[in-house]
Amino acid sequence: MIHIPKAEYARRRKALMEQMEPNSIAILPAAAVAIRNRDVEHVYRQDSDFQYLSGFPEPEAVIVLIPGREYGEYVLFCRERNPERELWDGLRAGQDGAISDFGADDAFPITDIDDILPGLIEGRDRVYSSMGSNPEFDRHVMEWINVIRSKAHLGAQPPKEFVALDHLLHDMRLYKSAAEVKVMREAAQISARAHVRAMQASRAGLYEFSLEAELDYEFRKGGAKMPAYGSIVASGRNACILHYQENDAALKDGDLVLIDAGCEIDCYASDITRTFPVSGKFSAEQKAIYELVLKSQEAAFAVIKPGNHWNQAHEATVRVITAGLVELGLLQGEVNELIAAEAYKAFYMHRAGHWLGMDVHDVGEYKVGGEWRVLEAGMALTVEPGIYISPDNQNVAKKWRGIGVRIEDDVVVTKKGCEILTGGVPKSVADIEALMAAARADAA
Ligand code: GLY
Ligand code: MN
Ligand code: MN
């Protein structure tokens, strides 16, 4: 299995500590276990920031980074070994494992944190934490600070400043290293196979969930623990619901099916959308809309390169889609005026993409100092234009209504342009029809 090497976690901690102000401390909690319903937990997923700095996969843990600390800069609080609990719930690293397997300089039981952490904070001028996203943990931080304040008369020095960690950490996460791109490429390739499998399996009479099962099969077979987000399998008019989740309708001959799904590998997401005909052959109207979306995506790829700004890809899709909708008679007017009036939003109401990484909608600023961010090598993003013609749109001829198409790929900005990570799924009308025809011939 491809994964982030241990040395990379150490490099990230070092890079973060180098950016912290002198005499400061950073504190980050692991994700809590989420209860699904009585006695049943959701599959555990580590918090992305915590994972980024540690690779430590357990709940009930806290990372503490203390640049310059004599007895070690990286302190990890985590659960103690416990043969009884481990028999029921699985192995724990314990404090020895935290040091030997996860690179901690020092490790303590999480149950001792209230006694130990105030002493680590004491005398530090600044505390970095991700304030606001975890109110319960924010309260704990304040309690630890108050322990120090209560000892001020004994000479204890509480910190003077609280700094949001997000800005530093999320800017680091925005730039993907070679090891990260390798993991993302792997996730993308597994997801590409899953989409191919779903296309091959598609038949009228099956259900949306039948295709979801094909996706899940490839995800798990490829080693993914889970999808990066809830898979969308939307046939017919359901494709016009952007975050459709039911996935339970019957697949009908003559309809399109839109699948937006990607797996997660070592906490890195992939995010692919393909739209194809249930029975393997596009109608004239479906093909016209599909090829317009594809053309707009190609226009976006052409402007994704270092030096261009974040919004150029979106602007490219808007221009192609608006001009195309005019040509097809779905919009009337002059292209520049329609763009200025945002007339395309009746059909294309979302943006062309988002940062991609450990979170499917990844962290990182889209604007800096009020200006769109300039693209640099290592940034990963999706390119996902779409056209959705509402079944209730009375302004267009009936033959267009209910068609929904999105095409989504994942790219990494390279020195000269971008690398498409998800090229393993066919995309042209001819290639999709050929793949589906071949699968039908095999099955016959
Ligand atoms: N799958 C969610 C998105 O495409 O943004
Ligand atoms: Mn998507
Ligand atoms: Mn996306």
CATH code where residue 53 lies: 3.40.350.10
Give residue-wise pLDDT tens across range 355-387: 999 999 999 999 999 999 999 999 999 999 999
For residue 359, being part of any structural domain is answered with: yes
Ligand 1 atom closest to residue 261's alpha carbon, by position in its atom list = 1
CA dihedral over 431, 434, 435, 436, signed as positive or negative: positive
* Cβ neighbours of residue 348 closer than 8 Å, sequence gap 6 or more: 317, 318, 321, 385, 386, 387, 388
**Distance of alpha carbon 138 from alpha carbon 94, whole angstroms:** 25
* Same domain, yes or no: 337 and 267: yes
CA terminus-to-terminus distance, the chain: 36
Ligand 1 atom closest to residue 262's alpha carbon, by position in its atom list = 1
* Same domain, yes or no: 61 and 108: yes
CA 52–ligand 3 middle distance (angstroms): 21
Which of 132, 154, 173 lies at the terminal end of a domain, its last residue?
Answer: 173
Task: Tell me if 214 CB under 6 Å of ligand 1.
Answer: no
Nearest Cα to 354, choosing from 400, 314, 317, 303?
314
**Distance of alpha carbon 159 from alpha carbon 125, whole angstroms:** 4
* Same domain, yes or no: 139 and 186: no
* Same domain, yes or no: 222 and 342: yes
Which of 116, 141, 173 lies at the terminal end of a domain, its last residue?
Answer: 173
* Same domain, yes or no: 253 and 274: yes
* Same domain, yes or no: 308 and 420: yes
Alpha-carbon dihedral 424, 425, 428, 430, rounded to 10 degrees: 100
- Number of domains making up the chain: 2
For residue 91, being part of any structural domain is answered with: yes
Residues pairing with 274 in the sheet:
259
For residue 51, being part of any structural domain is answered with: yes
Which of 173, 203, 221 lies at the terminal end of a domain, its last residue?
Answer: 173
**Distance of alpha carbon 130 from alpha carbon 167, whole angstroms:** 9
Active-site choice (18, 38, 39, 136)? 39
* Same domain, yes or no: 287 and 397: yes
pLDDT at 416: 96
For residue 150, being part of any structural domain is answered with: yes
Nearest Cα to 200, choosing from 185, 218, 226?
218
Q: Which domain does 219 fall in, by range? A: 175-443
* Same domain, yes or no: 414 and 306: yes
Is 3 labeled as catalytic in the residue annotation? no
Active-site choice (106, 186, 214, 260)? 260
Query: 345-380 in b/e burial notation, b at 16+ Cβ within 10 A?
Result: ebbbeebbbbbbbbbbebbbeeeeeeeebebeebbb
Are the CB atoms for 268 and 358 separated by under 8 Å?
yes
Report the nearest-CA residue for atom 3 of ligand 1.
Answer: 271
CATH code, domain carrying 199: 3.90.230.10
* Same domain, yes or no: 132 and 181: no
Are the CB atoms for 73 and 67 separated by under 8 Å?
yes
* Same domain, yes or no: 169 and 296: no
Is 271 labeled as catalytic in the residue annotation? yes
Residues pairing with 374 in the sheet:
309
Task: Tell me if 229 CB under 6 Å of ligand 1.
Answer: yes
For residue 1, being part of any structural domain is answered with: no
Residues of the chain with pLDDT under 50: none
pLDDT at 133: 86
Which phi and psi angles does 295 have, rounded to 5°?
Answer: -65, -40
Nearest Cα to 9, choosing from 102, 97, 98, 79?
102
Report the nearest-CA residue for atom 5 of ligand 1.
Answer: 361
* Same domain, yes or no: 220 and 308: yes
pLDDT at 131: 86
pLDDT at 352: 98
Is 255 labeled as catalytic in the residue annotation? no
CA 260–ligand 2 middle distance (angstroms): 5
pLDDT at 233: 98
Nearest Cα to 103, choosing from 206, 219, 222, 12?
12
For residue 375, being part of any structural domain is answered with: yes
Is 39 labeled as catalytic in the residue annotation? yes
* Same domain, yes or no: 182 and 158: no
